[in-house]
Chains A and B, each alone.
Chain A
Amino acid sequence: MSALLHLEGVRAGYGAVQALNDVSLHVEQGEIVTLIGANGAGKSTLLMTLCGEPRAQAGSIRFAGQEISGLPTHAIMRLGIAQSPEGRRVFPRMSVRENLLMGAEVLSRANPAPQLARVLALFPRLEERLEQRAGTLSGGEQQMLAIGRALMSQPRLLLLDEPSLGLAPLVVKLIFSAIRQLNAEGMTVLLVEQNANLALRLAHRGYVLVNGRITMAGTGAELLATKEIRDAYLGAAAH
């Protein structure tokens, strides 16, 4: 059985700081897999390492059977991976439309209109804001834009970094239901979240990252039922 994404013994970091140590995980076609952990555990670094920035210092990263750890970032993304990164990183001085079209750059010659229509159907709020500068959007709208932009390339694997961060509960609900809908249509998702409760309920499987190492793995329900997880990550939900 070959997974869509397969990491083995991956080590990575920024400069002298070792952020990931011997990380192994896999994501199957059609799954939502979540990676939970405290601030600074290395979750975002892991998503960025998948994209070649920073490069993995050791280990192997295979996407659809191909080793990608040595490729430059743009080449990795062109294989069918898209990321909605930490902090959303929309292009603030571009319109919403231009931001979305930037997401379709990978498709080069293909007409982006059908995919644009699909993204706008998923996030109707963006349609109302199409000609507005992205820097003037609210946090929730920026998050929708970041995810929508990632979807424009019609990726096989969607990487989401903290899509709930700093958003009102209602907006979070909207975004998570969009993720669920995408997955129902066949999208494979690797989701990084601090909100472990929410993420584990949504995901098929989850991994727990502590200080750059995977310490636990299991189905969403299994992890939710684990005492360590409840104590360490679901404290807020229990009160």
Chain B
Amino acid sequence: MAYALQQLINGVSLGMIYGLIALGYTMVYGIIGMINFAHGDVFMVGAFISLITMLLLGLGGGAAGPGALLLVLLAAMAATALYGYTVERVAYRPLRGSFRLAPLISAIGMSILLQNYVQVAQGARSKPIEAPVPGGITLMESAGFTVQLSYVQILIVVLTLAVLAGFTVLVTRTPLGRAMRACEQDRKMAALLGIDTDRVISLTFIIGAALAAVAGCLYLLRYGVIDFYIGFLAGVKAFTAAVLGGIGSLPGAVLGGLLIGLIETFWSAYFSAQYKDVAAFGILILTLIFMPTGLLGRTEVEKV
């Protein structure tokens, strides 16, 4: 029981990180109908920028104050957003109106480019830091097993919920959010209403990248070690989360992320940690076969 509770805590905090990344996949898919395969690597860049900012601030050698961490987070969001914008501008926008596979191939190229760029610029070795948010609360002890809720996990849950709340307000209540939803439903019509759709697409990439940066920063705080390759696996898992939740659905992305995090964690805890990735990708295959629209995806055909 205590063991299961611990796995639940671990699974939720991992799932929130996946959910933040999955939002970027699903937003971009919703608006331009393309899977941005470089998004996982944008997450990785966010983690690296967090690391670099920490070192510049003299952190990384133990406990850090909340003000310093906030600064790290904001810096990572801003710089990663610039990466997201640039990726769209140089690799996808020139291919708009081209055949459907072109931006997909370009995205894979961008993914490889970002990985290699970070590998060259930052080195291939993994980068460990000493936990900036150490410690935690002992929730209960039973049969010699202690259930730990670490401060990082609390931070992950609270920060993710806050970011999601802000993001929800942005999408549902602001003119920009309305324009984004309009582009998602009918981009040509949005242009006919005077919306600069290229600008909306750019902003979508900027927001998606900023969310990925939050995920990257939290990943660094939680696991304390990153390398240039973390974006691949995290990216594919977040993509799985987006598909499981129903690609194009924003609540679906978060729900899918939580489920993938939980499934992966419980699988590792009760079956085999070596095969946890198999579990996640097994879900992807099963979803695609039996429920291609995902949990919250749309099946309805619109009236014309």
Q: How many A-B residue pairs have CB under 8 A?
A: 68
Interfacial chain A residues near B303, Cβ < 8 Å: 92, 135-136, 139, 142
5 A-B pairs with the lowest CB-CB distances in the bound complex, closest first? A106-B194, A77-B194, A73-B191, A89-B189, A91-B185
Contact B191 A74 (CB under 8 A): yes
- In the assembled complex, the Cα of A190 lies from the Cα of B151 at a distance in Å of 65
CB atoms of B194 and A91 under 8 A apart: no
Query: Are A94 and B182 CB-contacts (below 8 A) given A102-B190, A135-B303?
Result: yes
* CB of B66 within 8 Å of the partner chain: no
- Interface residues contributed by chain B, number (CB under 8 Å): 20
Q: Is residue B277 within 8 Å, beta carbon to beta carbon, of the partner chain?
A: no
Query: What is the distance, in angstroms, from A183's C-beta to the closest C-beta of chain B?
Result: 21
Q: Mark B190-201, 1 if CB is under 8 A from A, else 0.
A: 111111110000
Interface centre among B182, B194, B196 (most CB of A within 10 A): B194
Report the minimum CB–CB distance from A8 to chain B (whole Å).
23
Q: Pick from A72, A87, A136, A149: contact of B193, CB below 8 A.
A: A149
Chain A residues contacting B191 (CB-CB under 8 Å) are 53, 72-74, 77
Task: Tell which of B185, B186, B192, B197 touches A51, judged by Cβ atoms closer than 8 Å.
Answer: B192
Alpha-carbon gap, A139 to B302, bound state (A)? 12
B89 CB-CB contact with A under 8 Å: no
By beta carbon, the residue of chain B nearest A155 is: B194
Interface bits B143-172 vs A (CB < 8 Å: 1, else 0): 000000000000000000000000000000
Q: Does A188 reach chain B (CB closer than 8 Å)?
A: no
Surface stretch bound by A, among B44-52, B112-120, B173-181, B238-246: B173-181
Pair A92/B302 contact, Cβ less than 8 Å: yes
With contact pairs A94-B182, A102-B190 given, residues A87 and B196 touching in the complex (Cβ less than 8 Å): no
Q: In this complex, what residue of A is CB-closest to B185?
A: A91
State A92–B300 Cα separation when bound (angstroms). Answer: 11
| Interface pair B304/A91, CB less than 8 Å apart | no
Could you list which residues of chain B lie within 8 angstroms of chain A, going by C-beta atoms? 175, 178-179, 181-182, 185-186, 188-197, 302-304
A85 at the interface (CB under 8 A from B): yes
B193 A92 Cβ-Cβ under 8 A: no
**CA of A72 to CA of B192, assembled, Å:** 10
A93, closest chain B residue (CB): B185
Q: Are B189 and A85 in contact (CB under 8 A)?
A: yes
The answer to whether A91 touches B182, judged by C-beta atoms less than 8 angstroms apart, is: yes
List of B residues within 8 angstroms of A53 by Cβ: 188, 191-192
B192 in contact with A85 (CB, 8 Å): yes
* CB nearest neighbor in A for B303: A135
Query: For B304, what are the chain A residues with a Cβ–Cβ distance below 8 Å?
Result: 87-88
* Given known contacts A74-B197, A92-B302, A92-B303, A102 and B182 CB-to-CB distance under 8 angstroms: yes
B179 touches A91 (CB 8 A): no
Task: For A92, give its contact among B175, B185, B192, B196 (CB under 8 Å).
Answer: B185
Alpha-carbon separation in the docked complex, A135 to B192 (Å): 19
Say yes or no for A34: interface residue by CB 8 A criterion: no
Asked if A91 contacts B192 (CB within 8 A), the reply is: no
Contact of A94 among B175, B181, B196 (CB under 8 A): B181
- Return 7 A-B CB contacts under 8 Å, by A number: A72-B191, A74-B191, A74-B194, A91-B189, A102-B182, A135-B303, A142-B303
Contacts of B193 in A (CB 8 A): 77, 82, 102-103, 105-106, 149, 153
- A74-B182 in contact given A85-B189, A92-B302, A135-B303 (Cβ < 8 Å): no
Report the separation of the CA atoms of residues A101 and B193 in the bound assembly, to the nearest whole angstrom. 10
Which residues of chain B have C-beta atoms less than 8 A from A77's C-beta?
A: 191-194
B residues less than 8 Å from A142 (CB atoms):
303
Q: Which residues of A contact B175 (CB under 8 A)?
A: 101, 105
Residues in B whose Cβ lies below 8 Å from that of A73: 191-192
Q: Is the CB of B178 within 8 A of A98?
A: yes
Q: Mark A139-178, 1 if CB is under 8 A from B, else 0.
A: 1001000000100010000000000000000000000000
Q: A74-B197, A135-B302, A135-B303 are in contact. Are A93 and B192 (CB under 8 A)?
A: no
- Verify A105–B189 contact, CB threshold 8 A: no
A78 at the interface (CB under 8 A from B): yes
**Contact residue among B194, B196, B302 (Cβ-Cβ distance under 8 Å from A153):** B194
- Indicate which residue in A83, A98, A101 contacts B192 across the interface (CB closer than 8 Å): A83
Chain A residues with Cβ under 8 A from B178's Cβ? 94, 98, 101-102, 105
Say whether B195 contacts A91, CB under 8 Å. Answer: no
From A78, A136, A139, give the contact of B194 (CB < 8 A): A78
Minimum CB distance partner of B197 in chain A: A74
A5 to B202, CA, bound (A): 33
| Interface-central residue, B188, B191, B196, B302, by most chain A CB under 10 Å | B191
Query: A51 — nearest CB in chain B belongs to which residue?
Result: B192
Contacts of B196 in A (CB 8 A): 72, 74
Complex Cα distance, B177 from A98, in Å, reads 11
A residues 89-134 near B (Cβ < 8 Å) are: 89, 91-94, 98, 101-103, 105-106
Specify which chain B residues have a CB less than 8 angstroms from the CB of A102 in the assembled complex. Answer: 178-179, 182, 190, 193, 195
